[in-house]
Amino acid sequence: MGSEVWFKDAPYWAMPISNFDSSLAPKGKQLAGFVFVMDENKSENSIIKNAYDTIYRALPYIEKHIEMQHEQITILQKAAVTIDGKIADIRTPIKNLYLAGTDTVSRSMGVTRAAYSIIEMLGALNEDGNLH
């Protein structure tokens, strides 16, 4: 129920994101984010596999409760690159092409920021008649 947890064995940061805003997860569900530091001498696939293995060791049985997984690899200090000082919009100039991710909204940061972008994208899809 806290805000962040730091695990020292295989360093990662865990955050129960929907504790900050319950609308980010369906009722009775939880959106959690996990952040790992990458070793530049290892492949992305091995780092991702190790990340999930670490989570499953730290949180036994969580795997059977996961409904969605998303991996994002970024350079932390460059996570929100902008063009001409503006954040990209969810809607693009190309019909029916939408963007989502940390570079499309200015609200919050990190995984929470990406979650807000998904909510905004779903709203845009619905408004444009493309959701159903």
Q: What is the pTM of this model?
A: 0.55
Report the pLDDT value the prediction gives residue 48, as an integer from 0 to 100: 92
* Structural domains counted in the chain: 2
Q: Residue 132: inside a domain, yes or no?
A: no
d(CA 26, CA 115): 13
Same domain, 10 and 60: yes
Q: Residue 70: inside a domain, yes or no?
A: no
From first to last of its 132 residues, the chain has per-residue pLDDT tens of 444 566 666 777 788 888 878 888 889 998 888 888 888 899 999 989 988 998 898 888 888 989 889 888 876 655 544 455 667 889 999 999 999 988 888 777 778 888 899 999 999 999 999 988
Same domain, 81 and 109: yes
Which domain covers residue 29, as residue numbers?
5-65
Q: Residue 92: inside a domain, yes or no?
A: yes
